[in-house]
Amino acid sequence: MAGVEATIERAERGLGLGEPNYVQTWYRQRNGAAYSGNFAWCDAAVTRWAYGSGNHAAVCFGTDFAYTVAHA
Protein backbone atom coordinates (compact mmCIF):
# COMPACT_ATOMS: atom_id res chain seq x y z
CA MET A 1 0.00 0.00 0.00
CA ALA A 2 1.40 3.39 -0.95
CA GLY A 3 0.03 6.88 -0.85
CA VAL A 4 -1.27 9.13 1.86
CA GLU A 5 -3.29 6.38 3.52
CA ALA A 6 -0.20 4.24 4.00
CA THR A 7 1.72 7.09 5.61
CA ILE A 8 -1.18 7.88 7.92
CA GLU A 9 -1.44 4.22 8.90
CA ARG A 10 2.24 4.22 9.85
CA ALA A 11 1.80 7.41 11.84
CA GLU A 12 -1.19 6.04 13.72
CA ARG A 13 0.88 3.05 14.82
CA GLY A 14 3.28 5.51 16.43
CA LEU A 15 0.71 7.33 18.56
CA GLY A 16 1.77 7.48 22.18
CA LEU A 17 5.46 6.80 21.61
CA GLY A 18 7.68 7.67 24.51
CA GLU A 19 11.40 8.22 24.43
CA PRO A 20 13.63 6.60 23.39
CA ASN A 21 11.71 5.05 20.53
CA TYR A 22 12.10 3.24 17.22
CA VAL A 23 11.99 6.48 15.20
CA GLN A 24 15.02 7.86 17.04
CA THR A 25 16.90 4.58 16.69
CA TRP A 26 16.14 4.30 12.98
CA TYR A 27 17.07 7.92 12.29
CA ARG A 28 20.32 7.65 14.25
CA GLN A 29 21.31 4.54 12.30
CA ARG A 30 20.73 6.38 9.02
CA ASN A 31 22.17 9.76 9.95
CA GLY A 32 24.81 9.26 12.62
CA ALA A 33 25.83 10.15 16.13
CA ALA A 34 24.58 13.73 15.89
CA TYR A 35 21.21 12.16 16.66
CA SER A 36 22.30 10.18 19.73
CA GLY A 37 20.15 10.18 22.82
CA ASN A 38 16.77 11.86 22.82
CA PHE A 39 16.35 14.54 20.19
CA ALA A 40 13.38 16.45 18.83
CA TRP A 41 12.08 13.71 16.60
CA CYS A 42 8.82 15.14 15.26
CA ASP A 43 10.00 15.50 11.67
CA ALA A 44 12.24 12.45 11.87
CA ALA A 45 8.98 10.58 12.49
CA VAL A 46 7.43 12.00 9.32
CA THR A 47 10.54 10.87 7.44
CA ARG A 48 10.36 7.37 8.98
CA TRP A 49 6.68 6.93 8.26
CA ALA A 50 7.08 8.14 4.68
CA TYR A 51 9.99 5.75 4.18
CA GLY A 52 8.09 2.82 5.70
CA SER A 53 5.05 3.45 3.53
CA GLY A 54 6.91 3.76 0.24
CA ASN A 55 6.44 7.53 0.05
CA HIS A 56 9.95 8.70 0.96
CA ALA A 57 10.74 10.19 -2.45
CA ALA A 58 7.51 12.19 -2.58
CA VAL A 59 7.71 13.45 0.99
CA CYS A 60 11.45 13.89 1.59
CA PHE A 61 12.76 15.15 -1.74
CA GLY A 62 15.80 12.87 -1.83
CA THR A 63 17.05 13.36 1.72
CA ASP A 64 16.10 12.78 5.37
CA PHE A 65 14.71 15.42 7.68
CA ALA A 66 14.71 15.77 11.46
CA TYR A 67 14.26 19.55 11.59
CA THR A 68 10.75 20.68 10.67
CA VAL A 69 11.86 24.09 9.39
CA ALA A 70 14.29 22.49 6.90
CA HIS A 71 11.58 20.14 5.66
CA ALA A 72 9.08 22.95 5.21
- Among the listed residues 59, 45, 56, 61, the one whose alpha carbon sits nearest the alpha carbon of residue 12: 45
User: Where exactly are the structural domains of the chain?
Assistant: 4-71
pLDDT band at 25 (very low <50, low <70, confident <90, very high): very high
Q: What is the pLDDT of residues 28-70, one digit of tens each?
A: 999 999 898 888 899 999 999 999 999 999 999 989 988 888 8
Q: Tell me which amino acid residue 19 is.
A: E
Specify the pTM: 0.86
Spatial distance between the Cα atoms of 21 and 44, rounded to a whole number of angstroms: 11
